[in-house]
Amino acid sequence: MHTRYQDDLDPVLDVSLSVHFWTTRGMVVAYSVVLLLGTAGGAEAIRVYDSTHGFNEMHRYTRAEGKQEGKPFHSGTLGEGMRAAIEDAKRGHLKMIEGWSGG
């Protein structure tokens, strides 16, 4: 089963979290969690957490260099990693945006 939703974290700054995940028998088998910032040029990815390679991975983005090399970010199950990614982005989105912008 595929589920997706978007959570508006900060409407004033136009920051949102896009979450997509797939489950089989109640277990998360794949996911992506993307922190997005609305800009004059459109939505920019700030941070991506996903399971594309079968484990919990995180990609930072920068305004100047775009997507950075992925790094393992949580050693638990994909479901645990997805929930940790959501909480990490919610708690740290302002610092993540600052890092993306080079501040």
Span 81-88, average pLDDT: 98
Give the residue among 6, 37, 8, 3 at the shortest CA–CA distance from 20.
3
**Contact (Cβ atoms closer than 8 angstroms) between residue 90 and residue 96:** no
Quote the pTM value.
Answer: 0.95
Residue 94: predicted pLDDT: 96
Residue 65 has pLDDT above 60, yes or no: yes
DSSP letter at 96 equals H
